[in-house]
């Protein structure tokens, strides 16, 4: 795909469908998660017990006058444990895919060679909800159970990880029903690794080398889902009191700016998969048979992207952004 320059708010944004096809789904399976590798070369689709990997054939697009993409099937990774179910996936800045399971195990796969770097590595006794690796591949953060947050450190060999620390609960959250962690993000806007943890009733920043609380930002609870801007300054989640709005809060210490609001034409339904695009200037969120696109700074709804295929009358369950430019959306039914 040709590169697209970073737009200004005055730019006329144009979006084209470059790939639209029903992918083969095994009988009695349903899609758990999708993930586009950051450079756009690989696509991972997770069902209950297996992950299908596709690679984009960029050479095929040169044969067409309009942008198209050809995705080649690379292989399927299956988990033999009959009790194991995939819960989430995450790409690193390299071509490494991390897969998390309800058994507390993780698997790391290198997409280029389809090499399994680490398989069946148990990091928790609880089901894993989220897994994120920092861009230097030095730390791996795991959210498991209701409020367990652990950080693992690489020994230099990605097949070997050692426990670095367990993030303690904030005193205000101890014995609280609202201690459930709803999102975790690495914030690369600091000199040292910083992890942003959102709880249902709190949002906390932790400095990972000592798990010190750098900042506590109290927002209107409950906090469900959440997205962190690429520069680490904004944190957004669905407004708990306005079901058709996303709320964006500033995380900079001492900031008294009001929350920004981004309104849809319909009530926001879980899962909450809004994403930042173009380095954080734009926000995209799914709706029924359409996508919403806002300019972040002005809070202006710029356009609605219609999804014309009949199967998109379903609720979108996952949304992924590639290179801050392209989108991929998957409905909850491919019939």
Of 95-99, 166-170, 206-210, which range is least confident? 206-210
**Residues 163, 33 share a domain:** yes
The two three-digit tokens of residue 318, written as one number: 């996952």
The burial class, CB within 10 Å (0-12 / 13-18 / 19+), for 120 is: middle
d(CA 204, CA 215): 6
Q: Are residues 53 and 102 in the same domain?
A: yes
CB 234 within 8 A of CB 222: no
Domain with 290 in it: what CATH number?
Answer: 2.130.10.10
| Residue 2 pLDDT class (50, 70, 90 cuts) | very low
Identify whether 7 is part of a domain: no
Query: 183 and 317 share a domain?
Result: yes
Between CA 170 and CA 224 the distance in angstroms is 18
Q: What is the mean pLDDT of residues 67-85?
A: 82
Contact between 58 and 39 (Cβ < 8 Å): no
Q: How far apart are the first and last CA of the chain?
A: 28
What one-character-per-residue DSSP string does 45-81 give?
EE-SSEEEEEEE-GGGGGG-SS----EEEEEEEE---
Which residue, of 106, 138, 167, is where some domain finishes?
167
What average pLDDT does this structure show over 275-291? 81
Closest CA to 91 of 33, 31, 163, 150: 33
Domain containing 135: what range?
21-167
Per-residue pLDDT at 330 = 40
Q: Name the band, by pLDDT with cuts 50, 70 and 90, for residue 105.
A: very high
Mean pLDDT highest for which of 70-79, 102-111, 163-172, 253-262? Answer: 102-111
Of 3-7, 292-296, 306-310, the poorest mean pLDDT is in 3-7
Helix (H, G, I), strand (E, B) or coil at 186: strand
pLDDT score of 131 = 92
Tell me which residue has tokens 């019939």. 335
* Contact yes or no for 77/96 (Cβ under 8 A): no
The residues near 247 (Cβ < 8 Å, ≥ 6 apart) are 219, 220, 236, 237, 238, 239, 259, 260, 261, 262
Q: Are residues 206 and 118 in the same domain?
A: no
Q: Which residue has the tokens 């096809």?
A: 21
Mean pLDDT, all residues of the chain: 75
Given pLDDT bands bounded at 50, 70 and 90, which one contains residue 220? low
Predicted confidence at residue 5, as pLDDT, reads: 46
Q: Which helix (H) or strand (E) is 109 found in, with range?
A: strand 105-110
Q: In what order do the strands lie in the sheet with 128-133?
A: 128-133, 139-144, 148-154, 161-166
Instruction: Mark whether 110 and 226 lie in a shared domain.
Output: no
In this prediction, residues 181-189 reach a mean pLDDT of 83
**φ, ψ (nearest 5 deg) of residue 182:** -110, -15
Give me the half-sphere count of Cα atoms (radius 13 Å) on the Cβ side of residue 120: 5
Do both 319 and 184 map to the same domain?
yes
pLDDT digits (tens, 9 = 90+) for 106-149: 999 988 888 888 777 889 999 999 999 988 888 999 999 877 88
Report the distance separating Cα 224 and Cα 203, nearest Å: 11
Residue 15 lies inside a defined structural domain of this protein: no
HSE-CB at 331 with a 13 A cutoff on CA atoms is 20
Confidence band for 238, pLDDT divided at 50, 70 and 90: confident
Indicate whether 181 and 152 sit together in one domain.
no
Instruction: Tell me how far apart the alpha carbons of residues 186 and 205 are, in angstroms, rounded to a whole number.
Output: 10
Residue 133: inside a domain: yes
Same domain, 81 and 117: yes
Least confident of 164-173, 181-190, 224-233: 164-173
- Which of 10-14, 29-33, 97-101, 257-261 has the largest mean confidence? 97-101
């Amino acid at each position: 795909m040709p590169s697209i320059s970073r737009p200004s708010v005055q730019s006329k944004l144009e979006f084209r469908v470059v790939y639209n096809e029903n992918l083969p789904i095994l009988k009695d399976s349903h899609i758990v998660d999708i993930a586009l590798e950051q450079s756009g070369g690989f696509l991972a689709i997770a069902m209950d017990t297996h992950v299908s990997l596709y690679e984009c054939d960029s050479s095929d697009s040169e044969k067409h006058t309009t942008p198209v993409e050809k995705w080649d099937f690379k292989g399927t990774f299956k988990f033999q444990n009959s009790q194991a179910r995939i819960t989430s996936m995450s790409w690193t800045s390299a071509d490494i895919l991390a897969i998390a399971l309800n058994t507390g195990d993780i698997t790391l796969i290198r997409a280029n060679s389809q090499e399994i770097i680490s398989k069946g590595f148990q990091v928790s006794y609880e089901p894993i909800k989220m897994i994120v690796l920092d861009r230097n591949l030095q730390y791996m953060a795991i959210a498991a159970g209701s409020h367990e947050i652990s950080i693992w450190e690489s020994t230099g060999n990605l097949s070997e990880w050692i426990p670095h620390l367990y993030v303690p609960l904030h005193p205000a959250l101890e014995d609280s029903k609202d201690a459930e962690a709803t999102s975790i993000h690495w914030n690369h806007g600091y000199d040292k690794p910083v992890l942003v943890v959102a709880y249902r009733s709190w949002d906390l920043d932790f400095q990972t080398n000592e798990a010190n609380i750098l900042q506590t930002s109290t927002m209107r609870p409950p906090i469900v889902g959440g997205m962190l801007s690429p520069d680490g300054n904004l944190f957004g989640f669905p407004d708990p009191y306005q079901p058709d709005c996303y709320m964006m809060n500033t995380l900079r210490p001492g900031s008294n700016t009001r929350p920004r609001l981004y309104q849809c034409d319909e009530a926001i339904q879980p899962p909450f998969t809004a994403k930042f695009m173009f380095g954080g200037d734009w926000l995209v969120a799914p709706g029924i048979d359409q996508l919403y696109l806002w300019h972040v700074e002005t809070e202006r709804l710029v356009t609605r992207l219609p999804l014309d295929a009949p199967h998109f009358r379903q609720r979108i369950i996952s949304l992924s952004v590639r290179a801050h430019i392209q989108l991929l959306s998957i409905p909850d039914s491919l019939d």
